[in-house]
Amino acid sequence: MSQDPNCIFCKIVEGKIPARKAFEDEQVLAFHDIAPWAPVHILIIPKQHIASLAEVGLEHAGLLGHMMTVGVRLMAELGVTNGFRTIVNTGADGGQEVGHLHLHFMGGPRPWARG
Ligand code: 5GP
Ligand code: ZN
């Protein structure tokens, strides 16, 4: 599994930085965001280091689908019954702050977001 020694999310995968895990398998890790924007705010990451959505190719299609379905399932398991928001920030202009691909899944009673 390729990891970046300077990447904060790789360190979470390796257990060097703690996180409140919600789900884990061979391919992906899901954990609660440290600074949640919503009552339930989960990040889904691939265990392998992929810098952003801009780096993915067709070979990652299965992984991306898996990440998405893990997020959907977790929303239900965490009691999000009235809809949720899914965001992927990509690159500097996309507002990406952590350079390891992650899906945001946010839910829970509004108001908590614009739009
Ligand atoms: P981005 O802006 O890159 O899409 O979002 C990065 C997210 O990662 C932010 O919502 C931020 O709160 C979260 N985050 C950054 N560092 C950590 C950390 O060490 N642990 C956890 N659980 N979340 C983090
Ligand atoms: Zn990484």
CATH number at residue 56: 3.30.428.10
At 2, the pLDDT band (50, 70, 90 cuts) reads confident
The helix (H) or strand (E) run that includes residue 72 is helix 61-77
Q: Which atom of ligand 1 is nearest to the CA of 88?
A: 4
Give residue 72's domain range: 8-107
Q: List CB-based neighbours of ion ligand 2 within 5 Å.
A: 4, 7, 9-10, 49, 100
Q: What is the pTM of this model?
A: 0.97
Given this model, what pLDDT does residue 115 score? 61
- The rounded distance, in Å, linking the Cα atoms of 102 and 63 is 12
Q: Coil, strand, or helix at residue 86?
A: strand
* Ligand 1 probe mutation, 21, 43, 88, most atoms within 8 A of CB: 43
Given this model, what pLDDT does residue 111 score? 79
* Count of domains forming the chain: 1
Residue 88's CB: how many other CB atoms inside 10 A? 16
Contact 74, 30 (CB under 8 A): yes
In a domain, 115, yes or no: no
In a domain, 2, yes or no: no
In a domain, 89, yes or no: yes
- The rounded distance, in Å, linking the Cα atoms of 91 and 72 is 24
